[in-house]
Structure 1
Amino acid sequence: MNELPKVELHLHLEGAAPPAFIRGLAREQGVDLSGIFDAQGNYAYRGFVDFLRVYEAACTVLRTPRDFGRLTRAVLEQSAENGVIHTEAFVSPDFCGGRDLGAWREYLAAIREAAEEAERELGIGLRVIVTCIRHFGPDAARQTARCAAETAGDFVTGFGIGGDEGQGSKADFAWSFDMAREAGLRLTAHAGEWGGPDSVRDALDHLRVERIGHGVRAIEDPALVDRLAEDGIVLEVCPGSNVALGVYPSMRDHPIERLRKAGVKVTVSTDDPPFFHTTMRQEYDALHRTFDWDEGVFRDIAATSARAAFCDAATRDTLLERIGA
């Protein structure tokens, strides 16, 4: 299963930064970030809120378009090593020029240049999902949505929301999602990770998304599970992340197999892989060991991911051909 072509739909570009990469930038800039690493050099945090703190601290040394270009290359190299042939990365203008449109264009150009180089050399494609940060508030989200709308096209293909689910409500961000939708962007939202089933329902009702980031706590509401299955809503499931952060105590307790058997379209991603000590190969290994998924299941998962990808039809057809769907 490890060598099967993989499609990843839920990856935070900054959150995928290898710790060594961030430490290297910190040394170059003379910044002391020792407090966010453990003795082994890994990211160190306690719980979800502290994870957000460490994440944002690591982002403080990602200061220039060149930094993001180097980051993109490093992340795509790791993904390609794990058999990923297409990835969709959440990128936030909050961390790329402070939501200034001119600065965002410069950061985006650097990311795209690195992505195109990686596609030529490594055979991995990248698309960007511009992401607003929930705990930064609705006003900041509107600025982020403007950055997304003004750069929408064949590379920036989606819009989403991440951050602390305990802050505000989904309805507060409806304006931003409406702007992104009008610009032709496809929509996803983090929900059903720390928020319960109601957070998933709110994302569907107020933001009108076609994919849900995580969404696993929908399992607590059978009627919602039925709705997801009937409406073909795709869940971007990150099992290793959910276990590492304590959403579920173990892989055996994770609901991905129950959701799949209920007819929900599930996919597999790593979220913020170095934070959770995972890779796409490790996710596949864990699912094979825990649920006895075979090659046929994993090919179905990859095909579901390709069909749900925020890309053009020609790219999708190429992905399905490479997957062998």
Structure 2
Amino acid sequence: MTKSEFYNFFRKIPKAELHIHIEAVMSRETIKKLYQKKNGVEFSDSEIKELFSYSDLNGFIAAFLKVQDIFTEVSDFDLIFDDLKNYLVRNGIVHCEAFFAPSAFIKKGFDYGEMTKNFEKNLKKIKDETGITIWLMGDVSRTFGLENAENNYKMFKEHPFAGFIGIGLGGAEAKGPSKEFGPVFEKALADNYHAVAHAGEDVGPESIWDALNICHAERIGHGITSVQDSELVKYISENKIPVEVCPTSNVFTKKYVKKMAEHPVREMFDKGIPVTIATDDPIFFGAELLDEYWNLYSKLHFSKADLKKIVINSFDDSFLDDGEKAKFKNLVEENWK
């Protein structure tokens, strides 16, 4: 298939995306608008270029925090959800399980209860307008330590809202080892919330083992260092633990993957790991979900049949109930024909 044929085809195939951060779907126009609102001056093209110039995971996180800093009030999230809706529509995504990171906003003085009202309103609006379902997971954030993570979880529990399904562990993996966050995961799982963890992105397979054995994470975000440990690959495959792979993100941060053609997702898929493909942070890494599927097809030798399996995985690996999964997988089959 040519690139244009590929995009035209896969845009029409219903997909789920399970690893994306809502602040990272912002358009550059939204960033400029919020910057102007906060500072009273325009955000120049050279400043935007500088904002998106980084060479490792820590540099990216610093840029992510700078973007969060331009928010001045809770209603600014309306713009984020507008951008998220547009992103989902143009990539043919019908179900999304996304992260939001409240820590920086709370430190700025935002009222979390007001944030949840805004989130609930916007999730309903998108559902009503497009039929797309979006569920949110709160990032307990390893960047700010265990005490902050526990405070975040307490806040999540005190302010539940329609569309909130659980917690995720994101942030600087090397600074906040997975093994330190077991207590907050135990509380979330005991309260029947879902729990997932970024692991094996910037640290070796020991981080993934800790996310599974100590945090009891139901899905692993990134997980690319799993291939360094044959026992871990066997464990993940046999226990059908989904791994949310974000290829361009891994190449961008350059810790373990220097170029797309060397990405271990091909090996992971071939060894039976339940792989789902996601973007992580589209605006920061310049790749949307259709781009990631094209990368697999054009640079990593995934066949159309392989990609269909990954699309099916995106629903099987979601937190949808069995009936919803079956409905969406039937839609995939119908549209594939």
TM-score by length of 1: 0.92
Once the two structures are TM-superposed, the CA of residue 34 in structure 1 deviates from its matched residue by 4.9
Partner secondary structure for residue 319 of structure 1: helix
2:66 aligned with 1:50, yes or no?
Answer: no
The answer to whether the aligner puts 1:206 opposite 2:214 as a matched pair is yes
Q: Report the more deviating stretch, 106-115 or 146-155.
A: 146-155
2:75 is aligned with 1:66: yes
Matched residue type, 1:210: E
- Percent of aligned positions with the same letter in both sequences? 27
1:219 aligned residue: 227
**Structure 1 170/143 Cα, relative in aligned 2: closer, same or farther at 3 Å?**
same
CA contact (8 A) 1:229 1:264 kept: yes
* Structure 2 CA distance for partners of 1:35 and 1:44, relative to 1, 3 Å: farther
Offset, 1:111: 1.7
Measured in 2, the distance between the counterparts of 1:54 and 1:76 equals 23
Residues 275-284 or 169-178, more deviating: 169-178
Give the match for residue 243 of structure 2. Answer: 235
Pair 1:260–1:170, CA change in 2 (3 A): same
Question: Does 2:140 match 1:140?
Answer: no
Give the TM-score normalised by structure 2. 0.89
CA 1:154 to 1:251, structure 2 compared with 1: closer, same or farther past 3 Å?
same
Task: After superposing the two structures, state which structure 1 stretch, 280-289 or 313-322, moved more.
Answer: 313-322
Deviations 1:95-154 (A, max 9, x none): 443498x92232122122112212222232100011111120100000111122334565
Structure 1 runs not aligned, ≥5 long: none
Could you say which residue in structure 2 is the equivalent of 1:109? 117
- Contact kept, 8 Å, 1:89 with 1:128, in 2: the verdict is yes
Determine the C-alpha separation between the residues in 2 that align with 1:275 and 1:35: 17
Aligned mates of 1:232, 1:26 — CA distance in 2: 44
What is the identity, as a one-letter code, of the residue corresponding to 1:175?
Answer: P
Q: Residue 190 and residue 36 in structure 1: after superposition, are their counterparts in 2 closer, same or farther (change >3 A)?
A: farther
Contact 2:276 2:317 in 1 (8 A): no
* Kept in 1: contact 2:201–2:223 (CA 8 A): yes
CA apart distance, 1:185? 0.9
Structure 2 Cα separation of the partners of residues 39 and 233 of structure 1? 38
- Choose between structure 1 and 2: higher helix proportion: 2
> What displacement does 1:319 show?
2.4
> Counterpart amino acid of 2:119?
I
For 2:248 and 2:63, how far apart are their aligned partners in 1? 19
Return the match for 1:191 from 182, 196, 199.
199
1:289 pairs with 2:273: no
Judged with a 3 Å threshold, the aligned counterparts in structure 2 of structure 1 residues 65 and 315 are, in CA distance, closer, same or farther, namely: farther
- The equivalent residue for 2:4 is none
Shift in alpha-carbon separation, 1:122–1:135, aligned structure 2, 3 A: same
Moved more, 108-117 or 293-302: 293-302
Runs of 4+ in structure 1 off by over 6 angstroms are none
Work out whether residues 149 and 179 of structure 1, in 8 Å CA contact, stay in contact via their aligned partners in 2.
Answer: no
Partners of 1:38 and 1:226 lie apart in 2 by 46
